[in-house]
Amino acid sequence: MARVVAAEAFEIEAALVTPYKLFEETLVSTRAVLLKLTDADGVEGWGEANPYDIYTGGTSSDAARVLKETLLPAVMASSAPAPGCIDEELDARLAGHLSAKGAVTMALLDILGKRLRVPVATLLGGALRKSLPVLWPLSNGTFKEDIRVIEERIEQGFSTFMLKMGSSPIPSEIQRVTELEARYGSLITLNADANQGWNREEAREFLKGVSGTRLAFVEQPLNKSDLEGAALLARDSRLPISADEAVAELSHAARIASVRAASVFSVKSSKNGGPLRAQRIAAVAQAFGISCYMNSMIEFGITQAASLQHAVTIGNLVDAGHAFMSTLRLAEDPTDFSARVHKGVVHLPERAGLGVEVDESHVRRMSVSGFDLRSPI
């Protein structure tokens, strides 16, 4: 690795094509920080931070601030900022802010892959597969609303659907699942995500009501701090329990695994602090016989590409669709990642680095704020 001599950050915003109703709110747009690093040999790498205050803590403005004030000065001071070492250096400078740190690691991996002329998947141990099925998310809504989306997306090749839950009465959520299964049977695969929206009694009621269904898993039914409750649900439920918000850092993964509070980990490259940190979480999962589901925030193509480069190296993925549809939900994205998704399947690019092309002029048009750092000559 050569020194990083320039860093540019762009806080960008895009509207969602269709508003997305969650337990807490309805999303109509998303913001992220795109990061461009350039090394002394002129090799460029891109990263992306996707903080979401409710789930990860902090905002895109917070990510931009810590990048400018703390993280990037540390990177640019390093004579050889290898992605495998930089995480420890950044942690020593600042606690938390995993999404911002992940943007740095993505960009450095992109540079290293380009320098070595290999995909990032090769740097992470090698691809075990070249493609993955992709799911489509369903808003926190009704059976009739679900059908409209499912019918449209089945025509496009999607066969896995995530049901957002948490704000409706439990009996109606149970009915929603059973009616969808009665209509579609094995034609589709469903999972349910409550985003910490239930208490223990509600979660038990839901799990009992859907115990005879084919749900692939039920994600984060309880508050992320209630590992004892999650362990009790996991012990008593026939259906797998997935940990999402509860598994941000490696220590969280180890704790969840040790108390058997989940049989699936929801892995998000930005939430977990970049592909290398996410890789360590996936390794804990494999050691404990836990499966991995590749999930996403509302992301642009750089994070989606980083997540895909990691996903194809994981042997213990759940047998269902994974969240590589994010750019298809946005009104605009300054990358070509959407071209990798075809008929409900995402395909690994053969290009070096993250394998995604970034239209920098498009990034600049989308930018609502940003900054530029240069090393002194």
Looking only at the bridges linking them, the beta strands covering 345-347 and 341-342 are: antiparallel
Q: How confident is the model at residue 377, as a pLDDT?
A: 59
Rounded to whole angstroms, the Cα distance separating 343 from 348 reads: 14
Half-sphere exposure of 106 (CA within 13 A, CB side): 36
| Angle, CA of 371, 269 and 360, to the nearest 5° | 35
Q: Which amino acid is at 175?
A: Q
Q: How far apart are CA 338 and CA 28, in angstroms?
A: 20
Number of C-beta neighbours around residue 96 at 10 A: 16
Residue 119 DSSP code? B
pLDDT at 323: 97
Partnered with residue 9 across adjacent β-strands are 35, 371
How do residues 39-77 score in pLDDT, each as one tens digit? 999 999 999 999 987 767 789 999 999 999 999 999 999
Task: Pinpoint the residues of the chain covered by CATH 3.20.20.120.
Answer: 123-347
3-state secondary structure of 249: coil
Residues of the chain with confidence (pLDDT) below 70: 23-24, 55, 377
In angstroms, the CA 368 to CA 289 distance is 44
Cα 212–Cα 218–Cα 221 angle in degrees, nearest 5 = 120
Measured at the CA of 214, the angle between CA 152 and CA 319, to 5 degrees, comes to 75
Residue limits of CATH 3.30.390.10 in the chain: 4-117+359-374
Q: How far apart are CA 323 and CA 321, in angstroms?
A: 7
pLDDT tens by residue, 245-289: 999 999 999 999 999 999 999 999 999 999 999 999 999 999 999
> What's the confidence (pLDDT) of residue 77?
94
| pTM score | 0.94
Instruction: State the burial class of residue 147 (Cβ atoms within 10 Å of its Cβ: 0-12, 13-18, 19+).
Output: middle
Q: Which pair of tokens denotes residue 53?
A: 């205050």
CATH number of 4-117+359-374: 3.30.390.10
The class that CATH gives domain 123-347 is: alpha beta
Sheet containing 131-133: give its strands across. 131-133, 345-347, 341-342
